């Protein structure tokens, strides 16, 4: 695939959930684009809509959807407009796959590892023979560093780290263009975490795949990020390349969030954000961060636009108007 | 008594018996295996290690909630093995405990006033006025003001950070000399973690409290403790003053932990981390010799896989249990 071609484009994506107390605006007017082969990380605190965004992209929707709207272009095709059947056959797992949160615990306990990794291939008729399937599985295992003698075992016979590798191999087996990783290392121990990040990094270099990495762990996110986006209360408040994001975030929320991350190698002044994020049931109509913001001013009662303040650096804040 | 040593832990072992069919013993989980260290009055000590290495068991043994299999804990110059019943009660009242899971720690049917009054009533603070005073002070210390707003609240009405502050308020309300806090912020979001840790630090300084701060997050230790102790497979592999430790990590396991910890830095994306594969050892059947040897790239054949390493002095107060320093 041609480099620097935009392969992935999200426009005004919304996903609201119906609840007894009203609609929850988990993803609200989210827009971003991605260049082939680059990895974007989405960081944000729990409940800000990261998992919902992943589900909205891959149309893995729960029953209680209230609103699902916007456009999602993959290689210039608006996949949101496709019929569910077409989406299932031609897109999910084939062109875009997801490693869900806690995937390693979601493997089927009574099915051997090899069969699970091969499943997306067989279901989508991407291989004709068992041999062919086996070949593709072996290839995926090599990428994730899963020893081949684990293929004949059941998930419970593997450690957490190895099960997570199997879950990643499953997403890679059909060679999709895009893989969404939702908190791929959160439940794992530090050394295992570092090993999995090494694996993802190598896959990225070797295959040129496009990753969307979702995490609440800002330190770890820098291991894979080419670009970064910060979510707050269902919206993207900042997006830029990683170099700018980690060194000089512009949105007051991003700035404070970064200041709250303790560092091992440097002694810095730590800070925290008083208060808590707004409810997504009835979020404030202006800037959603305003009531916790140290730089708030009159204009913040109106919703700020998402502005490109420098090349490829977007911020949703009136300060940069 | 040695000069201001508050707590002395000597060759402490806490094993759990594992049984098959409910009665046939198949061995022991050596959750804490021959651990020794000292804690001074007013000192904050970080205990770091990955899950399952024995941190919680160590904490609960110190708190008197598990009976040690062997070894000794000396508190304020006296061995807890020799405590009378009354002394054990007094001992427990002098230690505060902030447990791992804040959501499970608070009884859902009690309001904040009741939650904080409980330990006072149990420990014989009878006067209503005295109770009110101590409750108000504890809430004020944790910046939960105005106090009246919080007193009638039930746990589910509080955010995760506020709940954890109630847990800490309860741990300090009797004026303990030592607080053991077990992963106090691991369930909380980044933006509130620091607030809680800073509050604990302030309490420590203001009341000259000793703190045992258990965590798996190495990046916080420099900000919130003076000394660090690293556990692996039920044992202490390295301990020392935080700065010296960070400048000169010595045990290969400790070095791997530091290497694996990521600061937010765009340069990280360019390099691979040098970390060992494999898994922590089984504590039911730990490997002979050094427990880290199967994963260690410096392993010395015939030594590390045979003989258990003793503590070797790296520098004053800094030691590592590793044969490299023999
Ligand atoms: N199926 C659902 N029904 C109702 N609310 C939901 C549902 N899934 C998620 N939410 C709510 O949507 C918000 C965003 O959740 P989520 O996307 O899981 O956040 P994150 O992954 O960033 O922690 C939260 O307030 C959550 O409670
Ligand atoms: N009550 C118990 N009975 C049996 N085994 C236990 C018990 N508590 C802990 N263990 C075991 O002891 C080891 C250390 O556990 P723990 O102290 O909880 O470690 P950490 O807090 O570092 O994660 C683990 O192998 C754990 O399974
Ligand atoms: Mg999530
Ligand atoms: Mg524990």
Residues B81-116 have pLDDT tens digits of 888 888 888 898 889 999 887 678 899 999 999 999
Question: Whole-angstrom Cα distance, residue B106 to residue B205?
Answer: 26
* Strand intervals (E) in chain A: 6-19, 22-35, 40-43, 65-74, 77-78, 96-99, 178-182, 210-215, 227-232, 235-241, 307-310, 313-315
| Atom of ligand 2 minimally distant from the CA of B183 | 21
Domain that holds residue B158: 103-173
Q: What are phi and psi of A32, to 5 degrees?
A: -165, 160
Question: In the listed set B118, B150, B173, which residue is the last one of a domain according to the structure?
Answer: B173
**Position A258 in a domain:** yes
Q: What is the CATH number of the domain that holds B209?
A: 3.40.50.300
Q: What is the CATH number of the domain that holds A38?
A: 3.40.50.300
- ipTM at complex level: 0.92
Question: In the listed set B142, B173, B204, which residue is the last one of a domain according to the structure?
Answer: B173
**Position A84 in a domain:** yes
Residue B82: burial class (beta carbons within 10 Å; 0-12, 13-18, 19+): exposed
Residue nearest to atom 9 of ligand 2 (CA): B57
Question: Whole-angstrom Cα distance, residue B317 to residue B261?
Answer: 24
**Spatial CA neighbour of B38 closest among B68, B70, B67, B62:** B62
Of B192, B258, B263, the CB nearest to A263: B263
**Position A111 in a domain:** no
How sure is the predictor about B2, in pLDDT bands with cuts at 50, 70 and 90? very low
Structure tokens at A213: 């990495």
| Cβ of residue B47 lying under 6 Å from some atom of ligand 2 | no
Query: Residue A257 contacts by C-beta under 8 Å, 6 or more apart in sequence?
Result: A43, A45, A218, A230, A249, A273, B190, B191
Contact A221 B258 (CB under 8 A): no
| Residue A4 pLDDT greater than 80, yes or no | no
List, for residues A253-281, the tens digit of each pLDDT value: 999 999 999 999 999 999 999 988 999 99
Q: How many domains does chain B have?
A: 2
Task: Check if A110 contacts B (Cβ < 8 Å).
Answer: no
Helix boundaries (H) for chain A: 50-58, 84-86, 113-123, 130-144, 160-172, 190-207, 218-221, 242-247, 252-259
**Spatial CA neighbour of A171 closest among A198, A146, A194:** A146
Q: How many domains does chain A have?
A: 1
Q: What is the pLDDT of residue B86?
A: 85
Domain that holds residue A61: 6-90+214-320
**Position A175 in a domain:** no
Q: Which ligand is nearest to the CA of B47?
A: 2
Average pLDDT over residues A235-251: 96
Question: Does B158 share its domain with B196?
Answer: no
**Position A171 in a domain:** no
- Which of 16-45 (A) contact B at CB < 8 A? 45
Question: Does B180 share its domain with B149?
Answer: no
The residues with which B215 forms a beta bridge, in sequence order, are B48
Question: In the listed set B149, B173, B197, which residue is the last one of a domain according to the structure?
Answer: B173
Question: Does B165 share its domain with B253?
Answer: no
Question: Does B76 share its domain with B108?
Answer: no
C-alpha of residue B31 to centroid of ligand 2, in Å: 6
Query: Following DSSP, what letter does each residue of B69-96 receive, concatenated?
Result: SEEEEEETTEEGGG--HHHHHHHHHTEE
Question: Does B168 share its domain with B107?
Answer: yes
Of A198, A256, A258, the CB nearest to B272: A198
- Calculate the CA dihedral of residues A161, A106, A57, A313 and round it to 10 degrees: -30
Of A195, A226, A243, the CB nearest to B275: A195
**Position A237 in a domain:** yes
Question: Does B127 share its domain with B33?
Answer: no
Residues in chain B: 326
Q: What is the pLDDT of residue B3?
A: 62
Chain B residues within 8 A of A222 when measuring between CB atoms: 262-266, 268-269
Question: Does B270 share its domain with B301?
Answer: yes
Average pLDDT over residues B50-59: 96
Question: Does B183 share its domain with B274?
Answer: yes
List, for residues B28-43, the tens digit of each pLDDT value: 999 999 999 999 999 9
Q: What is the pLDDT of residue B104?
A: 80
- Mean pLDDT value across chain B: 94
Question: Whole-angstrom Cα distance, residue B260 to residue A190?
Answer: 6
**Position A273 in a domain:** yes
Contact A123, A133 (CB under 8 A): no
């Amino acid at each position: 695939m041609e480099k620097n071609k935009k392969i992935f484009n999200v426009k005004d994506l919304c996903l609201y959930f119906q609840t007894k107390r009203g609609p929850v605006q988990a993803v609200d007017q989210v827009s971003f684009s991605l260049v082939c082969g680059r990895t974007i990380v989405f960081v944000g605190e729990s409940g800000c809509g990261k998992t919902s965004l992943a589900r909205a992209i891959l149309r893995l929707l729960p029953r209680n959807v209230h609103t699902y709207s916007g456009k999602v272009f993959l290689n210039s095709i608006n996949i949101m407009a496709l019929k569910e059947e077409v989406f299932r056959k031609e897109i999910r797992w084939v062109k875009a796959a997801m490693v869900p949160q806690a995937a390693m615990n979601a493997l089927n306990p009574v099915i051997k590892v090899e069969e699970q990794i091969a499943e997306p291939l067989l279901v989508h008729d991407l291989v004709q023979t068992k041999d062919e399937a086996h070949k593709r599985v072996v290839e995926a295992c090599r990428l994730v560093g899963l020893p081949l003698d684990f293929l004949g075992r059941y998930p419970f016979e593997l450690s957490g780290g190895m099960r997570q590798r199997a879950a990643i191999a499953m997403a890679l087996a059909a060679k999709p263009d895009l893989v969404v990783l939702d908190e791929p290392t959160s439940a794992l121990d530090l050394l295992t975490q570092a090993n999995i990040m090494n694996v993802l990094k190598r896959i990225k270099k070797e295959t040129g795949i496009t990753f969307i990495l979702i995490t609440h762990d800002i330190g770890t996110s820098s291991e894979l990020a080419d670009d970064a986006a910060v979510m707050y209360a269902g919206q993207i408040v900042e997006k830029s390349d990683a170099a700018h994001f980690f060194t000089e975030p512009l949105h007051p929320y991003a700035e404070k969030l970064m200041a709250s991350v303790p560092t091992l190698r440097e002694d810095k002044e730590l800070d925290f954000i008083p208060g808590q994020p707004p409810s997504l049931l009835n979020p404030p109509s202006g800037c959603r961060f305003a009531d916790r913001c140290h730089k708030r001013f009159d204009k913040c009662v109106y919703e700020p636009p998402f502005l490109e303040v420098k090349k490829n650096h977007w911020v949703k804040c009136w300060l940069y108007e | 008594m040695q000069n201001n040593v508050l707590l002395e832990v000597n060759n402490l072992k806490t094993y759990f018996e594992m049984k098959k069919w409910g009665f046939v013993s198949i061995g022991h989980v050596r959750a804490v295996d021959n651990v020794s260290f000292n804690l001074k009055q007013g000192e904050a000590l970080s205990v770091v290690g990955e899950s399952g290495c024995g941190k919680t068991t160590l904490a609960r043994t110190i708190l008197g909630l598990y009976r040690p299999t062997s070894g000794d804990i000396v508190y304020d110059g006296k061995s807890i093995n020799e405590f009378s019943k009354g002394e054990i009660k007094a001992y427990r009242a002098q230690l505060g405990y902030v447990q791992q899971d804040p959501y499970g720690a608070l009884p859902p049917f009690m309001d904040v006033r009741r939650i904080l009054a409980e330990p006072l009533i149990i420990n014989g603070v009878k006067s209503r006025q005295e109770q009110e005073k101590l409750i108000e002070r504890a809430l004020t210390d944790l910046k939960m003001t105005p106090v009246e707003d919080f007193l009638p609240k039930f746990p589910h009405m509080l955010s995760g950070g506020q709940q954890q502050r109630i847990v800490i308020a309860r741990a300090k309300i009797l004026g303990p000399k030592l607080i053991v806090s077990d992963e106090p912020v691991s369930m909380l979001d980044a933006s509130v973690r620091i607030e809680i840790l800073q509050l604990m630090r302030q309490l420590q300084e203001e009341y000259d409290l000793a703190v045992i701060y258990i965590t798996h997050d190495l990046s916080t230790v420099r900000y919130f403790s003076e000394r660090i102790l690293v556990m692996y497979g039920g044992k202490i592999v390295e301990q020392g003053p935080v700065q010296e430790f960070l400048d000169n990590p010595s045990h290969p396991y400790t070095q791997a932990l530091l290497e694996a910890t990521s600061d937010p830095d765009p340069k990280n994306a360019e390099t691979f981390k040098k970390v060992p594969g494999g898994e922590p050892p089984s504590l039911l059947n730990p490997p002979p010799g050094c427990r880290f040897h199967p994963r260690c790239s410096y392993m010395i054949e015939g030594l590390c896989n045979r003989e258990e390493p003793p503590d070797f002095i790296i520098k004053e107060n800094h030691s590592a249990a590793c044969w490299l320093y023999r």
